[in-house]
Structure 1
Amino acid sequence: MVSKVPSPRMDDVYMTCFRIDESGYTGFDLLNADQRFQGASAIAINNDDAERLIKEHFPRLQAPELKYNALSRRASNHPRLLGLLKDLLSDFDCVTYVADKRFMLTLMFVDYSVEPFYYERGVDLYENGQNYAMAAMLHMAGPALLGETEFAALMDAFQLAMKEKNPQSLQKLVEAAEATNWRELPEVLGPLAQYADRDCLSAISTPGVSTDIAIVVLISLITRMEVMAKGVYRVEHDQSKNLLTYHNLLQRYIENDEEVEFRATEITSLRFPLKLDEVVQVDSKSSPAVQLADVMIGAAIEAGNTLTGLRAGGLDPEALMLLYREDQFIHMLPSIDFEEQRRFRSGSQNSQAIDYLASNIFGKRR
């Protein structure tokens, strides 16, 4: 279903409507130097409340819509933005997800260039988050152990192979793995560098899979929206190109009516059928609520860039982070606290979930 203008009456039909916006999208290119982080926010707020809050915090706004990046450029707007965000986080159900795209690429490397090797030998690399721990180790120690230039070349070759899926790009990936000091991490690099494992290369060659993580971001939001919504709910999102790309895929999630549930972490699970009943594309200029979703994700992405030294001059990230409750902020960042991650991901059914989604949503992977 596609709608050009959100209807206020829809807020009465559905118990909950989450408005969504995203930031940091660069398609398959997770190594983009200008966009280190990608994420999205969802907030259950109607357009009347959104318009009221915008007028309250920015009474002199002249622009046709509220855009975080434009407002954040002026230091005089920072107190107003923090005040607005405090009201949103205090009074409305909402969640923000942010991912380090380079870490996500490393995690995908483990999922496609390593995991199939172990899977065929009866080892579940997803059990208790072993794939996450391996990816975190590779992401943080890889440059030092494998060679900084060689590690960068490996990630670039993997990203290209996932995109092109031809014999030439696959061969270049194997050669890039061989060129590293792979014996320093044989359990990670061995499947490619030592064996040129066919199962791994086949997984990389699977039609339809890519390094584009937009759907990962959106599904992460869905797991939280499913918890926050007390009944059937709907989603409205902007008509940006990447969100439009996945509109039909989200509709396929809605249409999957088989009863099944998979545990991901100690606080998240994916259960079908979803309570999500409808996904609608809208023009953000006509939706104050979607504009507030833009403010939420814009602030979070800016905070990530500030904390990593990539940007300066925006909101104080520490002041921003103090506004969030623990269940309002999800991040996919590397962690070296392997024991905590093992506990957090203990009992994970990610392997079963991947096979189920591959068969029922995406098409066969293995």
Structure 2
Amino acid sequence: MECFRIDESGYTGFDLLNPEQPFQGAAAVAIGNEDAARLIKEHFPGLQATELKYRALARRPGNHPRLLSLLKDLLTHYKCVTYVCDKRFLLLLMFLDYAVEPFYYERGINFYEDGQNYALASMMSFVGPTLLGEDAFNAMLAAFQRAAREKTTEALKDLVDAVRKTRWRELPEALGPLAQYAAPECLSAIMAPGVSTDAAFVVLQSLVTRMEEMAEGSYCVEHDQSKNLLTYHDLIQQYINHEEAIEFRQSEIASLKFPLKLASVTQVDSKMSPAVQLADVMIGATIEAANTLRGRRLVGLDAGAVMALYSDEQIIHLLPSLDFEEQKRFRQGSQGAELIDYMATRFHR
């Protein structure tokens, strides 16, 4: 059976505002341990460590050409996909999902039509601090993720107060539901048991969507035993166990169909799995490239060289964009509202 090895980077649980780790992602590569061990030996013949770790290797400039060559081999000869997201942008999308969309749903308006939620979140990502007041805007996002986690009356009140302290009249279509009405339907949505700002669910959903497309038949997933990946493991198992036949269109190139071809998920010690170690290299290099392009890193692999290795179908990114027409075209006909409702009622984070 074909097996995808996966690894993650940048996981900070419910906290999507962590300034030290603004990006989160995961990578999957369909490679056997025998081939993986051979590639590691070819590209790092003098490796003394018991495990191939991207972070340790990338510290030495002399390893950079070898790392790029290894990535090129993986992306050229094996089925691969890497997902990376801007966590602050994702938090804004979640804010629109739960603190805004229910208000419009109650009034018969499809807030997700043609991806307009992505356009609004992108605009808020770029101009929100200036338009709404930087400190107040940041406090609002912090209050939202706290309310989604704690689900208390006090936390909800603090969220409404935080929204009202912004210059919300500059953007009433996004902030009016809470600032003007303290919309009970929005507050109820935030209080729902399945609602969380933990990004593992979003990352995994995107990764599974691409693995389903790449796999020719039944396949398995193998991942490290790290604490962070326990969340992914539980979600993958729920996906495997879900037998209802249904399909959702997410974008021009992505759809999710149940039941999945994914048949099993296994945790392994990464020291014993060269294939999992290669997944670590893939996601480590991509997250570092994202940080470099954001201006947050001064050392490491050349970001342009890393991204040039990827073909369009090998990388999924959730990043803000001001090309609203492209966003509309890409997400035209999206069943975003239906998918969110379906996932919230059937899967538990």
TM-score (norm 2): 0.98
Aligned to 2:74: 88
* Identity across matched positions, percent: 67
Q: Kindly indicate whether the alpha-carbon contact (under 8 Å) linking 1:38 and 1:98 is maintained by their aligned counterparts in 2.
A: yes
Aligned to 2:131: 145
Following the alignment from structure 2 to structure 1, what is the Cα–Cα distance between the partners of residues 342 and 132? Answer: 35
Amino acid at match of 1:221: L
Following the alignment from structure 2 to structure 1, what is the Cα–Cα distance between the partners of residues 245 and 190? Answer: 30
Aligned to 2:212: 226
Q: Deviations over 1:77-126 (max 9, x none)?
A: 00000000000000000000000011111111111110110011111111
Please, which of 315, 318, 332 is the counterpart of residue 318 of structure 2? Answer: 332
Following the alignment from structure 1 to structure 2, what is the Cα–Cα distance between the partners of residues 184 and 75? Answer: 48
SS in 1 for 2:265: strand
Aligned to 1:32: 18
Q: Kindly indicate whether the alpha-carbon contact (under 8 Å) linking 1:23 and 1:39 is maintained by their aligned counterparts in 2.
A: yes
1:342 matches 2:328: yes
Please, which of 188, 200, 209 is the counterpart of residue 202 of structure 1? Answer: 188
Following the alignment from structure 1 to structure 2, what is the Cα–Cα distance between the partners of residues 139 and 190? Answer: 18
Report how far residue 351 of structure 1 moved. 1.1
Following the alignment from structure 1 to structure 2, what is the Cα–Cα distance between the partners of residues 65 and 121? Answer: 56
Aligned to 1:191: 177
Report how far residue 245 of structure 1 moved. 2.3
Count, aligned residues: 349
In structure 1, list runs of 5 or more residues that go unmatched: 1-13
TM-score (norm 1): 0.94
Q: Kindly indicate whether the alpha-carbon contact (under 8 Å) linking 1:261 and 1:271 is maintained by their aligned counterparts in 2.
A: yes
SS in 2 for 1:121: coil
Q: Deviations over 1:128-149 (max 9, x none)?
A: 1111111111111111110111
Aligned to 2:94: 108
Aligned to 1:213: 199
1:271 matches 2:257: yes
Amino acid at match of 1:96: T
Aligned to 1:11: none
Amino acid at match of 2:32: N
Report how far residue 208 of structure 1 moved. 3.2
Report how far residue 228 of structure 1 moved. 0.4
Q: Deviations over 1:219-269 (max 9, x none)?
A: 100000000000000000111112112322211211111211000001000
Following the alignment from structure 2 to structure 1, what is the Cα–Cα distance between the partners of residues 136 and 344? Answer: 32
Please, which of 275, 287, 311 is the counterpart of residue 273 of structure 2? Answer: 287
Following the alignment from structure 1 to structure 2, what is the Cα–Cα distance between the partners of residues 357 and 106? Answer: 19
1:317 matches 2:292: no
Instruction: Give me the CA root mean square deviation.
Output: 1.0
Q: Kindly indicate whether the alpha-carbon contact (under 8 Å) linking 1:214 and 1:242 is maintained by their aligned counterparts in 2.
A: no
SS in 2 for 1:246: helix
Following the alignment from structure 1 to structure 2, what is the Cα–Cα distance between the partners of residues 60 and 289? Answer: 18
Please, which of 125, 128, 132 is the counterpart of residue 118 of structure 2? Answer: 132
Following the alignment from structure 1 to structure 2, what is the Cα–Cα distance between the partners of residues 282 and 288? Answer: 11
Amino acid at match of 1:155: L
Q: Kindly indicate whether the alpha-carbon contact (under 8 Å) linking 1:95 and 1:330 is maintained by their aligned counterparts in 2.
A: yes
Report how far residue 331 of structure 1 moved. 0.4
Amino acid at match of 1:39: G
Following the alignment from structure 1 to structure 2, what is the Cα–Cα distance between the partners of residues 248 and 172? Answer: 32
Following the alignment from structure 2 to structure 1, what is the Cα–Cα distance between the partners of residues 22 and 287? Answer: 9
Q: Kindly indicate whether the alpha-carbon contact (under 8 Å) linking 2:204 and 2:232 is maintained by their aligned counterparts in 1.
A: no
Q: Kindly indicate whether the alpha-carbon contact (under 8 Å) linking 2:5 and 2:221 is maintained by their aligned counterparts in 1.
A: yes
Amino acid at match of 1:301: I
Aligned to 2:235: 249
Q: Deviations over 1:301-344 (max 9, x none)?
A: 00011111111110000111111101001100001111100000
1:261 matches 2:247: yes
